[in-house]
Amino acid sequence: MAEEQMRESRRLFAEYGNIPRFTPHTVRFLEGAFELPDVASFLYQYKSIFGADSYRFHPVDAAPVIYDCGANVGASCLYFQRRHPGARIVAYEADPVIFAYLARNMANNGCACITLRQEAVWVRNEPIRFACEGADGGCIDGPWDSVTVPGVRLRDRLAAEPRVDFLKLDIEGAETEVLLDCAETLDRVANIFVEYHSWNGQRQTMQDILGLLEARGFRYYMETICNRPTPFVDTGVDREKDLQCEIYAVRRRTEAEG
């Protein structure tokens, strides 16, 4: 699958890569099409998710439970649905404009069975201000125009599940607070993807995430998606984020489990 999708990724970049940012456009792929508010961010998602097969995991049965927090326009949802047609997928997207794209893309690509929630995953069940960036960078307390959206405590949702096979957290800076709040429920989660964001001028909290994952029985692997080949010279002080890192965490198997 990955080799075929890498070829498709190269085709998409060749055909759509020159479209200016934040220009609405329809991209055709996989015998279907996505409506997009920003082609560039989708092309990166496609390359990582489909091309590199980065969200591939081994479920315990044919009906895994998947929580997609920060679903954006639906690339990850489509991947999970195609990989695991029997899965129960719950997808969260806070930005109301982006959520409308997500809903249309899922309906138009055979993913109507996915549960879509226009909510921000957070540490409390209460309305919250959400800054809308227009693509995949919207966040709580961001610098852009903001709207009030429903906030949902992810801990409560996970606590209601007997098991969660895959938890994806791409929530643009809220990941540390949300994960720490979910600490007591992570024992029922098998695989976790976290996109960690280090905002310039704020305390770096990756050590909090990694310490929590280790304490809860996970082994982790990381890849940076910041391009700073000379970090002692390019210290990132002129960037919005001085570090962005993908964390892949897998529950450690015990000797009894083999």
- Domain end: 10, 27, 54, which one? 54
Among 11, 26, 54, give the residue marking a domain's end.
Answer: 54
Q: Number of helices and strands (H, E) in the chain?
A: 7, 14
Say whether both 143 and 42 belong to one domain.
no
Is residue 256, in this structure, part of any structural domain at all? no
pTM of the model: 0.93
* In the predicted structure, residue 218 carries a pLDDT above the cut 50: yes
Average pLDDT over the chain reads 92
Domain that holds residue 24: 1-54
Q: Are residues 203 and 95 in the same domain?
A: yes
Residue 145 forms part of a structural domain: yes
* Judgement on whether residues 2 and 114 belong to the same structural domain of the protein: no
Same domain, 14 and 78: no
Percent of the chain with pLDDT over 70: 94
Q: Using CA of residue 30, residue 36, residue 42, residue 43, what is the dihedral sign?
A: positive
CATH number of the domain to which 184 belongs: 3.40.50.150
Residues in a beta bridge with 149: 128
pLDDT tens across 97-140, in order? 999 999 999 999 999 999 999 999 999 999 999 888 777 766 66
Considering the domain architecture, whether residues 151 and 209 belong to the same structural domain is answered as yes
Look at residues 12, 35, 54 and tell me which one is the last residue of a structural domain. Answer: 54
Query: How many domains does the structure of the chain reveal?
Result: 2
Do 123 and 24 share a domain, yes or no? no
> Looking at the structure, do residues 35 and 129 belong to the same domain, yes or no?
no
Residues 141, 211, single domain; the answer is yes
Answer yes or no: is pLDDT of 59 > 60: yes
pLDDT value at position 30?
Answer: 86
**Judgement on whether residues 229 and 117 belong to the same structural domain of the protein:** yes
Residue 247 and residue 223 share a domain: yes
**Residue 257 forms part of a structural domain:** no
Residues 48 and 86 in one domain: no
Q: Which residues contact 204 (CB under 8 A, 6 or more apart)?
A: 198, 243
34 and 159 housed in the same domain:
no
**Tokens at 175, concatenated:** 């990941």
Question: What is the predicted pLDDT for the residue at 255?
Answer: 46
The pLDDT, as a whole number, for residue 40 is 95
Which of 229, 225, 214, 139 lies closest to 175 in space, CA to CA? 139
CA atoms of 175 and 74, how far apart (whole Å): 19
Phi and psi of 106, rounded to 5°? -70, -40
**Using one digit for the tens of pLDDT, what is the confidence trace for 25-52?**
999 998 899 999 999 999 999 999 999 9
